[in-house]
């Protein structure tokens, strides 16, 4: 989609395709999910009374001066599934029960069944604790993510700035194999690079705030001590060349980006969990799960895959939210078939949040796309196709993000033109 800029009187965009797969009545114009996410510029959508107050700060050094250091081998957090132990308890909702009306299920004409008074046996307790995670199959339009687990700690708010103006997206730590000098975060292209006719540019400064859902603040801000794990400064981003040279919506096939965190202590500002667990590593990938990306997923051979899209929408900030639906496709523009979730009401701020298949109630799953765009007047969410053999370039960009030298990066990012 378009980079996240204020929405000045937008120019007309080409109508959607009339391909046979499109509905007979033309859809409205595709609408980038974060086109209106600049908080102070759109009071009718995001009331200024609810907008956080930002402290005037100077961006920290984009490249910390210390070289990458070896991570300690005596990691007290037992990488990689070492979620901090003192998670706050302010979950927004509880998992629904099978009795949604909350009415007594016993027949009133019969005496109630006596409850056992003895505690469960150790064997029964162990069996419950070792129960395998269950696959999630429900259809969801836009709800708080109620399961916690791995994805909640690995996903977070991407807070980025152009000319001092704040914008919000979502990002997720992804599995880069063994590259100890960096951590990679997947997001959308318009969450990192702003297109314009003069060439565009990368964000001036960006932060990643994992598990912002459990913040002790009112919502998104730069006060990292309010958040469980704190914040990490994003060193630079990578985007595809085609994203930087095409105007929305013709750029939607390349709406993906990789942010890179340099694995040094200077990249981190600690959160409140560190006050009680100061031994926790300050290296991001040491304390969260790195999620796999499936670049072989082909929607044509696996139709109707049940898919979860997750993200931090600003209008419900700071909740971590999701929608879930069987995957289809849609021609948002005539030349490109996006992946599509037909019923999804997440909006600005959720861009860059991951789409997962095989999602389980422990928060595990496999990434197949990211939130990209929707329609302003109807439900639904689109994501770019990651299928490499189908022509997608995401995997190529991902491989380059693993090895590019920090000292070779200028102006906040790298435009990849040889994928």
Alpha carbon 240 to its chain centroid, in Å, reads 19
Q: Which two tokens stand for residue 3?
A: 């980079």
Alpha carbon 187 to its chain centroid, in Å, reads 6
Average pLDDT taken over every residue of the chain: 78
pLDDT of residue 199: 84
209: which residues sit within 8 A by CB, 6+ positions away?
156, 157, 158, 159, 215, 220, 224, 227, 230, 231
3-state DSSP assignment of residue 339: strand
pLDDT of residue 131: 82
- Residue owning tokens 């009680």: 276
pLDDT of residue 86: 45
- Residue owning tokens 């796309």: 369
Q: Which sign, positive or negative, has the C-alpha torsion 141, 144, 145, 147?
A: negative
Burial class (CB in 10 A: 0-12, 13-18, 19+), 328: middle
- pTM exceeds cut of 0.85: no
Q: What is the pLDDT along the chain (419 residues), one digit of tens a residue?
A: 444 443 333 333 344 443 334 333 335 556 555 433 333 222 222 222 222 322 222 333 333 333 333 333 333 333 333 445 444 444 444 333 333 333 333 343 344 444 444 455 555 545 556 789 999 999 999 999 999 999 999 999 999 999 999 999 999 999 999 999 999 999 999 999 999 988 899 999 999 999 999 999 999 999 999 999 999 999 999 999 999 999 999 999 999 999 999 999 999 999 999 999 999 999 999 999 999 999 999 999 998 999 999 999 999 999 999 999 999 999 999 999 999 999 999 999 999 999 999 999 999 999 999 999 999 889 999 999 999 999 999 999 999 999 999 999 999 999 999 99
The answer to whether 356 and 376 have CB atoms below 8 angstroms apart is: no
| C-alpha to C-alpha distance for 115 and 123, rounded to whole angstroms | 19
15: which residues sit within 8 A by CB, 6+ positions away?
26, 29
Q: What is the side-by-side order of every strand in the sheet holding 268-270?
A: 268-270, 230-233, 205-210, 155-162, 165-174, 182-187, 257-262, 236-240, 413-416
CB atoms within 10 A of CB 134: 10
| C-alpha to C-alpha distance for 173 and 120, rounded to whole angstroms | 39
DSSP category for residue 30: E
pLDDT of residue 120: 52
Q: Which sign, positive or negative, has the C-alpha torsion 381, 168, 354, 219?
A: negative
pLDDT of residue 339: 97
pLDDT digits (tens, 9 = 90+) for 49-63: 222 322 222 333 333
CB atoms within 10 A of CB 265: 12
| C-alpha to C-alpha distance for 330 and 353, rounded to whole angstroms | 19
């Amino acid at each position: 989609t378009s980079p996240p800029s204020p929405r000045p009187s937008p120019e007309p965009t080409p109508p959607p395709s009339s391909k046979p797969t499109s509905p007979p009545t033309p859809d409205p114009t595709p609408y980038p999910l974060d086109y209106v996410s600049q908080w102070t510029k759109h009071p009718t959508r995001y009331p200024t009374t609810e907008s956080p107050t930002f402290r005037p700060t100077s961006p920290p050094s984009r490249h910390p001066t210390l070289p990458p250091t070896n991570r300690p081998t005596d990691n007290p957090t037992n990488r990689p599934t070492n979620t901090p132990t003192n998670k706050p308890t302010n979950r927004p909702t509880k998992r629904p029960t099978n009795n949604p009306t909350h009415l007594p299920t016993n027949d009133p004409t019969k005496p109630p069944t006596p409850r056992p008074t003895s505690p469960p046996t150790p064997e029964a307790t162990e069996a419950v604790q070792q129960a395998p995670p269950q696959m999630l199959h429900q259809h969801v339009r836009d709800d708080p993510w109620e399961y916690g687990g791995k994805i909640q700690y690995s996903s977070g708010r991407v807070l980025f700035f152009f000319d001092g103006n704040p914008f919000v997206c979502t990002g997720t730590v992804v599995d880069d194999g063994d590259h100890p000098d960096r951590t990679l975060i997947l997001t959308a292209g318009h969450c990192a690079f702003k297109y314009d006719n003069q060439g565009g540019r990368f964000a001036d400064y960006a932060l990643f705030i994992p598990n912002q859902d459990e913040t002790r603040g009112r919502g998104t801000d730069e006060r990292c001590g309010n958040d469980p794990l704190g914040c990490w400064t994003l060193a630079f981003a990578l985007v595809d060349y085609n994203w930087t040279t095409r105007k929305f919506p013709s750029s939607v096939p390349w709406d993906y980006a990789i942010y890179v965190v340099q694995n040094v202590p200077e990249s981190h500002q600690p959160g409140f969990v560190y006050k009680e667990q100061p031994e926790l590593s300050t290296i991001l990938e040491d304390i969260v799960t790195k999620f796999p990306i499936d670049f072989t997923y082909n929607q044509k051979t696996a139709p109707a895959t049940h898919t979860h899209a997750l993200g931090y929408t600003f209008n419900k900030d700071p909740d971590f939210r999701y929608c879930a639906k069987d995957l289809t496709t849609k021609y948002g523009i005539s030349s490109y078939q996006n992946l599509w979730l037909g019923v999804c009401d997440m909006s600005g701020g959720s861009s860059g949040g991951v789409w997962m298949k095989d999602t389980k109630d422990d928060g595990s799953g496999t990434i197949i796309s990211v939130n990209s765009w929707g329609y302003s007047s109807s439900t639904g969410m689109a994501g770019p196709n990651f299928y490499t053999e189908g022509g997608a370039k995401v995997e190529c960009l991902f491989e380059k993000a693993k090895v590019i030298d920090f000292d070779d990066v200028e102006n906040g990012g790298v435009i990849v033109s040889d994928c």
